[in-house]
Amino acid sequence: METDFLVIGSGVAGLTYALKMAKHFPDKQVIVITKTSADETNTKYAQGGIAGVWDDENDSYDKHIDDTLIAGDGLCNEKIVEIVVKEGPERIKEIIEYGARFDKDESGEYSLGKEGGHSENRILHHKDVTGLEIERALLNELGKLPNINLIKHCFVIDIITQHHLGYLVTKSTTDITCYGVYVLNVNSNQVEKITSKITLLATGGNGQVYRTTTNPRIATGDGVAMVYRAKGRIENMEFIQFHPTALFESGVSPSFLITEAVRGDGGILRNKDGDAFMEQYDHRKDLAPRDIVARAIDNEMKRTGTEHVFLDCTHMDQKKFIHHFPNINEKCLSIGIDVSKQMIPVAPAAHYSCGGIKTDEMGRTSIKHLYACGECASTGLHGANRLASNSLLEAMVFGERCFLDSLLLIETINKENHLPTELPDWIAKGTTAPKEMILITQTRKELEQIMSDYVGIVRTDVRLRRAMRRLDLLYEETEELYRATKVSPQLCELRNLITVGYLIVKGAEFRKESRGLHYNTDHLSKSELLQNIVL
Ligand code: FAD
Ligand code: SIN
């Protein structure tokens, strides 16, 4: 297959870009690839909503910028923060034009929610299923465009660069160029080649590297691993955000999220003794930024020897609760919890990757003709910790920016006619069908265990060293298996997850300080030592 524009991923990032490209170039075909069904994405599960400055009276761009910078703990790129905050509302208007419906109050104004770290109410939402509504609206719009070819159940294995033409490509090579991808058609079990002039990676997050995560099964960090293998630049992988309040259900994966908006509406965290503990940790109490709340919960769990704490909503107006959070209410009822009478058991779960494929302010990666956007990208917006509900916003703003830059790039590419005439087909010679699936499933379990036990919310130098040694072994064994076995999504995902785990540990070992989401008790500042909340 050959195309001008190739998009990997059908979440908010990939679809925002694809729609814009297809509308601008009605005579060209845009290919969108997704590894399972069209809507199985992190986007679909977003609950709380999208942050944006709507209330001109009380809110301002400066306030949203400040909140983002404070959460990011000194590592945000201020220029990017300003871009996202200021361009955000326009992008939200676009998605409303596509048909996304956000809740309004009785006066017909948008009802704006509040989440941790936000100084004002600025979160647009659709009940507690905002992502589902956004994904619906985007896919509906896509259905109107005959020049978008959405290919489902195709697993992208690697991006094609000069390496596949036999050239030596290293991290110092300055002109690494993306010519397309190798993709496993899951239905036919064949590896195919798609050449493209411009490729966008919008492959989402990597929460599946941890045992407990809010992320669906597709979130295996494939884009980051592909770019790393292609010698592109990755950054900030140590900053993994743990959401403080995932529903605690022993043995259930992924974990169901209890949106932060519940605390925004008055929900209170309590420990097993019924004490509201957040005031001991931060003056913003239950609405402190996520890193602080997650660490406080982690500490309470360790201190009291429990597997979870509780989110108390029993005092809240139940009519309003059911109106705003119907999905959460239903889920709780389904496991026997009546939120009007019982507290919800919650525990932190891996939720969001702040780092990823390094991009500039137009979404360009260090690899030519390759853009990255959405959760797989590291644009500089989040720094050391993402502010709640800034992620959907970032994906939309950068979807537009990648589109704008692509308009210039495609002209240059067409003039230069850059594509090599012969790109090699995938070589499967010498490989055999996998005989022992247990090698893959067991290694994946081991990986999740290592990452959760040693590279979680609280880290130490010894734990990180131990994790790295164990990952080395998993890497060697899995590479051996990969060389000998026909590719499958399971094997590719395992390989990608090991790479992601390695990058997280490497970043964490390199950072000799505690900052934002990266909390290492061997590297605490004086003030952190004084208020050391770690047992
Ligand atoms: P995704 O939506 O995850 O899409 C990834 C796409 O890439 C999928 O189509 C997948 O099939 C495809 N893909 C991946 N690898 C391959 C491959 N190898 N081959 C082919 N296709 C591939 N953020 C907010 O701002 N507000 C919220 O309220 C919010 N709530 C959240 C709640 C939950 C439970 C979760 C998990 C996340 C939440 N987030 C929220 C974060 C936000 O939803 C995500 O960061 C965002 O949706 C990511 O969008 P994306 O387009 O980058 O990736
Ligand atoms: C939530 O609804 O609590 C998640 C919001 C986010 O991840 O931005």
pLDDT digits 0-9 by tens, 279-333 = 999 999 999 989 999 999 999 999 999 999 999 999 999 999 999 999 999 999 9
- Record the tokens describing residue 439, joined without a space: 């090698």
Active-site residue, from 122, 136, 211, 290: 290
Measuring CA to CA, which residue among 147, 228, 158, 226 is closest to residue 192?
158
pLDDT of residue 535: 39
Amino acid identity for residue 54 in this structure:
W
Is 501 within 8 Å of 494 (Cβ atoms)?
Answer: no
184 alpha carbon, closest ligand = 1
Which pLDDT score, from 0 to 100, does residue 532 have? 61
pLDDT reported for residue 534? 45
Q: What are residue 459's phi and psi, to 5 degrees? A: -120, 160
| C-alpha closest to that of 267 among 304, 303, 317, 301 | 317
**Which ligand 1 atom minimizes the distance to the CA of 130?**
28
Task: Specify the domain boundaries for CATH 3.90.700.10 within the chain.
Answer: 248-348
Provide the pLDDT for residue 186.
94
Ligand 2 atom closest to Cα of residue 387? 8
Q: In this structure, which topology does domain 2-238+354-416 adopt according to CATH?
A: FAD/NAD(P)-binding domain (3.50.50)
Point out the residues of the chain with pLDDT beneath 50.
534-535
**Residue 260 CB less than 6 A away from ligand 2:** yes
Which residue is associated with the tokens 């297959």? 1
Q: What is the pLDDT of residue 427?
A: 84
Reported CATH class of domain 248-348: alpha beta
Residues of each domain in the chain carrying CATH 3.50.50.60: 2-238+354-416
> In terms of pTM, does the model score above 0.95?
yes
For ligand 1, the distance from its centroid to the CA atom of residue 436, given in whole angstroms, is: 31
Q: What is the DSSP string of 31-88?
A: EEE-SSSTT-SHHHH--S-EE----TTT--HHHHHHHHHHHHTT-S-HHHHHHHHHHH
Distance from the CA of 164 to the center of ligand 2, in angstroms?
Answer: 40
Whole-angstrom distance, CA of residue 103 vs CA of residue 105:
7
Q: Sort strands 240-247 and 148-151 into parallel, antiparallel or unpaired.
A: unpaired
198 Cα–ligand 2 center, Å: 31
Residue 2: its H or E element: strand 2-8
Residue type, 334: S
- Position 530 scores a pLDDT of 65
Pocket test for ligand 2, best of 243, 258, 353 (most atoms within 8 A of CB): 243
pLDDT at 429: 74
